[in-house]
């Protein structure tokens, strides 16, 4: 049997039922499986349990009865057997799905009053205590053979009912097992797929990390290359500028005005190229220099920078107002460079104004400090906003405003290395506002080189 | 001999000489073209074996990027030798961002010039530094 009997039949309920039946009718009961395990029993007779089954010789006869009954059992029927000891047993099989799993016994009874003398002899033959044996015999129920049919009809129905509930229970157990197996298989599949997914993810991450590393190395190499080229270009450039200047100074008198003008163009452009190169070198350096951060009073630093810058244009009227600013956490030299560029731009692009107004405002917001430098200068067209922070990108006509067009790229790089953002708003003829954010102390994650 | 100019770029050497000349400082200038020649000159070895080592320059203008022996190495040898340690050395760098500049400070450079692209500016700083080290600064025993 695939399942043990207790799994298929509610044995405590059966025991209860049989107890009640025994009390009401004196019909005894036992459910015994094919391995001779007794699962439920009530009303078993002392004459069997204390005498016949104890003595080896009589027990052998009992077992012979068991065998006979087992061998002659058929589904839906019952069999009776009179044992050599003189008692009668009846049994009917419990068959679940074609498998004979157990037998229901009733019996250890007599059909007619016993022949006392024969039992007395039997006691003597097997060495039973005569009085005890006869007392046990007296307890044996005497039931006319005619009554057996109806009792066994009950027992057969009981066996069929047990078979049916057993089958139902078996199907349920099988279904549960199938479900468990299915669940296990499914879980295994899910586990396998999850494992594969995790592995794939790890591989992907490794690849991204490798690629990032390669890109960063390539970028570093490129920057170093640019840096060294920029550096080396200064030497020939110095010669061109220097000798153009000397030519102009020492031999200018021998050139006509156009010749002198042309030489001046050579000189001025060489000097301008020198400024561009210095701008690139600074821009590259700001991308890789070590940062030493501390708390910075941005307002004080801005006033200082402004005073220096505005001193270079004494003919202009430029007013600076600084609002309440949150302190910044950053590298002072780098932040100063950003402010120098922002204020230089503001001073430069307000040149057409009789009174130039520059305003710096700020506020703390969600762990970061925000700053905005606003001017009433010539402004810019918002459609060029994305070009504003790129190296060498101009949003004004060439010659209109001097400069290398690196200033805002420097600002972006400084802010980026602090983990902040930059953005710009403006309108032609109505000024520009450049804003940037700096994360608070401990919140920096260097980015945006 | 008052100035030793260590410079591999002929154009830069000429510009430097002209800048000094404007201040009448180029009359006693010796120009060497690489680090090895500079060391030979300073320590009176090799081609300069017969030179009197006591007759040291009043100032050395030293370019950092030199063939054979680098400017930093030349500086290390000058500042590491008791006979030459007192000679003022002015380093000429291509830009303020030169990575060797930090090493020069550690070695005890006396001063440095960032060579500006613009000649007027270049002439001004070279002239001023030359003037300072030749006329104002008193070298012990110099």
Chain B residues whose CB is inside 8 A of the A275 CB are: 117
Supply the CATH number for residue B83's domain: 3.40.50.2300
Q: Of A45-59, A135-149, A190-204, where does the model show the most confidence?
A: A190-204
Q: How far is CA A310 from CA A238, A431, B67, in A?
A: 29, 18, 44
Q: Report how far residue A108's alpha carbon sits from residue A115's, in angstroms, rounded to the nearest whole number.
A: 16
Mean pLDDT of chain A: 88
CB pairs < 8 Å spanning A and B: 56
Asked whether residue B124 is assigned to any structural domain, the reply reads yes
- Bridge partners (DSSP) listed for residue A364: A369
Instruction: Specify if B142 maps to a domain.
Output: no
Question: In this predicted structure, which of A313-322, A412-421, B51-60, B125-134 has the lowest mean pLDDT?
Answer: B125-134
- Does A2 have pLDDT greater than 60? yes
Burial A51-88 (b: 16+ CB within 10 A, else e): bbeebeebeeebeebbeebbeebeeeebbbbebebbbb
Residue written as token pair 């059992």: A73
Alpha-carbon span A166 to A39, nearest angstrom: 15
Minimal Cβ distance to B119: which of A231, A245, A273? A245
- Whole-number Cα distances in Å, A409 to A215, A280, A392, A405, A423: 21, 10, 8, 8, 12
Q: Evaluate whether A78 touches A92 at the Cβ level (below 8 Å).
A: yes
Q: What pLDDT, on the 0 to 100 scale, is given for residue A448? A: 41
Q: Give the confidence band of A416 by pLDDT, cuts at 50, 70, 90.
A: very high
What chain A holds in terms of domains, given with CATH numbers, is: 5-182 (3.30.450), 290-439 (3.30.565.10)
In whole angstroms, what is the distance from residue A354 CA to residue A210 CA? Answer: 57
Q: Residue B86: inside a domain, yes or no?
A: yes
Q: Which two tokens stand for residue A346?
A: 């503001």
Res A398: pLDDT:
65
Provide the residue range defining the domain that includes B20: 3-136
CA A59 to chain CA centroid, nearest Å: 68
Cβ A280 vs Cβ A406: under 8 Å: yes
pLDDT at B114: 82
pLDDT, position B92: 86
Q: pLDDT tens-digit profile of A265-274?
A: 999 899 888 8
Give the pLDDT confidence score for residue A449 in this predicted structure. Answer: 42
Q: So what's the pLDDT on residue A419?
A: 92
Q: Is the pLDDT of residue A308 over 70?
A: yes
The pLDDT assigned to B1 comes to: 61
Report yes or no: B11 at the A interface, CB cutoff 8 Å.
Answer: yes
The pLDDT, as a whole number, for residue B98 is: 63
Is the distance from CB of A302 to CB of A339 less than 8 angstroms? yes
Do B15 and A235 lie within an 8 Å CB cutoff? no
Alpha carbons A365 and A353: distance in angstroms, whole number: 33
The tens digit of pLDDT for each residue in A202-231 reads 999 999 999 999 998 998 888 888 888 887
Mean pLDDT of A269-293: 86
pLDDT more than 90, % of chain A: 40
B141 assigned to some structural domain: no
Does the distance separating the beta carbons of B97 and A231 come in below 8 Å? yes
Residue of A nearest to B15 (CA): A242
- The string of pLDDT tens digits covering residues B101-123 is 778 888 988 888 888 888 888 88
Are A235 and B120 an interchain contact pair (Cβ–Cβ within 8 Å)? no
Q: What is the pLDDT of residues A118-167, one digit of tens each?
A: 889 988 988 889 999 899 888 888 888 888 888 888 888 888 888 888 88
Which residues is B114 bridged to in the sheet?
B93
Q: What's the domain count of chain B?
A: 1
Residue B84 lies in a domain: yes
What residue ranges of chain B have pLDDT lower than 70?
1, 95-99, 136-142
Task: Please give, rounded to a whole number of angstroms, the shortest distance from the CA of A367 to a CA of chain B.
Answer: 34
What is chain A's length? 449
The pLDDT value given to residue B137: 63
Report the residue from B94, B98, B122 with minimal CB separation from A242: B122
- Is B122 part of the contact surface with chain A (CB cutoff 8 Å)? yes
- Chain A interface disruption, residue of B101, B117, B127, most A CBs within 10 A: B117
**Cross-chain residue pair B95–A278, CB shorter than 8 Å:** yes
pLDDT for res B97: 60
Contact assessment for residue A280 and residue A229, using Cβ atoms and an 8 Å cutoff: no
pLDDT in tens, A56-100: 888 888 888 878 887 887 767 888 888 888 888 888 888 888 888
* End-to-end alpha carbon distance in chain A: 76
The residue that leads in pLDDT, B135 or A14, is A14
| The pLDDT of residue A65 | 81
Q: Is residue B7 part of a domain?
A: yes
Helix (H, G, I), strand (E, B) or coil at A393: coil
Binned at pLDDT 50, 70 and 90, residue A323 comes out as very high
């Amino acid at each position: 049997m695939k399942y043990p009997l207790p799994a298929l039949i509610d044995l405590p309920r059966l025991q209860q039922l049989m107890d009640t039946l025994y009390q009401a009718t004196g019909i005894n009961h036992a459910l015994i499986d094919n391995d001779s395990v007794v699962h439920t029993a009530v009303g078993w007779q002392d004459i069997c349990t204390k005498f016949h089954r104890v003595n080896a010789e009589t027990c052998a006869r009992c077992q012979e009865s068991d065998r006979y009954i087992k061998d002659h059992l058929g589904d839906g029927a019952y069999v009776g057997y009179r044992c050599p000891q003189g008692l009668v047993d009846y049994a009917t099989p419990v068959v679940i799905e074609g498998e004979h799993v157990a037998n229901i016994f009733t019996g250890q009874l007599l059909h007619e009053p016993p022949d006392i003398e024969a039992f007395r002899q039997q006691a003597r033959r097997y060495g039973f205590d005569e009085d005890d044996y006869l007392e046990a015999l007296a307890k044996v129920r005497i039931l006319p053979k005619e009554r057996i049919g109806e009792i066994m009809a009950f027992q057969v129905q009981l066996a069929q009912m047990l078979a049916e509930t057993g089958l139902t229970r078996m199907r349920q157990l099988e279904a549960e097992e199938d479900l468990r197996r299915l669940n296990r298989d499914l879980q295994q599949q899910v586990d396998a797929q999850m494992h594969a997914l995790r592995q794939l993810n790890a591989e992907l991450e490794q690849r991204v990390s490798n690629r990032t590393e390669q890109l960063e190395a390539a970028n570093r190499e490129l920057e170093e290359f640019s840096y060294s080229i920029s550096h080396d270009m200064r030497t020939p450039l110095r010669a061109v500028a220097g000798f153009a200047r000397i030519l102009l100074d020492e031999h200018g008198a021998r050139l006509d005005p156009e010749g002198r003008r042309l030489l001046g163009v050579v000189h001025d452009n060489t000097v301008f190229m020198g400024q561009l190169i210095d701008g690139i070198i600074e821009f590259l350096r700001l991308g890789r220099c070590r940062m030493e951060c501390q708390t910075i009073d941005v307002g004080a630093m801005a006033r200082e920078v402004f005073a220096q810058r505005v001193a270079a244009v004494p003919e202009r009227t430029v007013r600076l107002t600084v609002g309440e600013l949150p302190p910044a956490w950053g590298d002072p030299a780098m932040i100063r460079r950003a402010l120098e560029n922002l204020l230089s731009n503001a001073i430069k692009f307000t040149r057409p104004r009789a009174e130039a107004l520059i305003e710096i405002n700020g506020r703390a917001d969600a762990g970061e400090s925000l700053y905005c430098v606003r001017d009433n200068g010539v402004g810019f067209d918002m459609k060029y906003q994305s070009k504003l922070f790129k190296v060498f990108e101009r949003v004004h006509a060439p010659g209109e405003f001097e400069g290398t067009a690196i200033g805002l790229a420097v600002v972006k790089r400084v802010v980026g290395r602090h983990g902040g953002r930059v953005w710009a708003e403006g309108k032609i003829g109505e000024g520009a506002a450049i804003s940037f954010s700096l994360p608070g102390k401990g919140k920096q994650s260097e980015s945006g080189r | 001999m008052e100035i030793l100019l260590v410079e591999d770029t002929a154009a830069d050497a000429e510009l430097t000489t002209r800048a000094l000349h404007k201040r009448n400082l180029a009359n006693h200038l010796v120009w060497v073209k690489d680090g090895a020649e500079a060391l030979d000159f300073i320590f009176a070895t090799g081609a300069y074996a017969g030179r009197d080592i006591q007759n040291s320059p009043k100032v050395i203008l030293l370019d950092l990027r030199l063939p054979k022996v680098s400017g930093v190495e030349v500086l290390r040898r000058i500042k590491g030798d008791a006979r030459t340690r007192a000679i003022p050395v002015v380093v000429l760098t291509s830009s303020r961002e030169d990575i060797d500049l930090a090493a020069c400070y550690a070695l005890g450079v006396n001063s440095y010039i960032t060579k500006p692209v613009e000649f007027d500016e270049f002439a001004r700083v070279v002239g001023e530094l030359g003037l300072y080290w030749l006329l104002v600064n008193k070298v012990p025993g110099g």
